[in-house]
Amino acid sequence: MKFYYFGGTFNENDTLEDTSTLDSHHFDGVMFTYDATQGDMFVRVAKDIKLNEKIKYLIAIRPYTISPQYLYAINQSINEIQKDRLQINIIAGYIKDHESNVGGIVGDVNDLSSSVERSNYTIKFIESLDEISKNKDPKEQLDVYISTTNNYVFDAVKKYKNKIILPYSIYKRGFWSDWLKDPSLKIEFDRGKTEIMLAMTPVIRETEEELQSLAQHAMKPVWKKGDVSKVVEDVEYFTHETFHEFIQMLEKDNINHLLINAVPRSESKIIVSFIKKYVESRYK
């Protein structure tokens, strides 16, 4: 199993979520989320890469904010620093209130577009990536994951044989809800040979007794007016033993990448330390 951390930092003073600490704690990758107000993560990757480390930088980007052509240009430049350190996450996006007035998108789809419009744009973006890839040397290909939360994007992913980031809640229930035509319609999750990175929020403690009081522990932050704070959908509770059993189950299901989110952020202290011990006890 390859472990990725959701929402890393470039701040060396953050002793748990910066890339070097995660690398030394046996994380294989770190995702940097997209926020229109927080600067360019690709520039920061170029500045941060350390040639003696192996951790991969998984950069989330909304497809309508950049062209497929320019993604390839960025990838080529990062490879000149060190090959195979950059990965791209294409995500239609969850738009926070503080981003709503940033603007700067010239086109029919932007941050104020509906989720359906943004998903349709993502599908077209996937098609364009495929067209470019046909004219690229294998060494120049992008390492791309598509965040996939509905059957329409998933159909495109399967057609073009992309890798996906899949929410644990969808994996656990085993079907898509057709939110466009009929939300009550259940569409079987037929993954075929699709490579999956599973995204989840684990709460990990040594004993069941410690977990019993944490039912309302992993509360989703409120980023939009009208949102209500609630337990995140992708949470799961583990003892050290049941986490190991869960990893074994995923590997038997041919899922070998786990993207771990810490909610609340204070959980990072437990998660990062636990993964280090877990990897060393099992793999080292």
User: How many Å apart are CA 117 and CA 78, to the nearest integer?
Assistant: 31
pLDDT at residue number 38:
82
Coil, helix or strand for 176?
strand
Give the model confidence (pLDDT) of 95-154 as tens digits.
Answer: 654 555 666 676 788 777 888 899 999 999 999 999 999 988 888 899 999 999 999 999
Name which of 227, 229, 210, 222 is nearest 267 in CA terms: 210
Using 50 as the pLDDT threshold, list the residues of the chain that sit under it. Answer: 97
User: How many Å apart are CA 41 and CA 45, to the nearest integer?
Assistant: 6
Q: Which CATH architecture has domain 2-282?
A: Alpha-Beta Barrel (3.20)
User: How many Å apart are CA 195 and CA 39, to the nearest integer?
Assistant: 30
pLDDT at residue number 210:
94
- The token duo for 112 is 């104020």
Decide: 205 and 211 in contact? Cβ < 8 Å. yes
pLDDT at residue number 12:
65
Q: What is the pTM of this model?
A: 0.93
pLDDT at residue number 97:
47
- Domain locations in the chain as residue ranges: 2-282
User: How many Å apart are CA 157 and CA 195, to the nearest integer?
Assistant: 10
With a CB cutoff of 8 Å and minimum separation 6, the contacts of 69 are 132
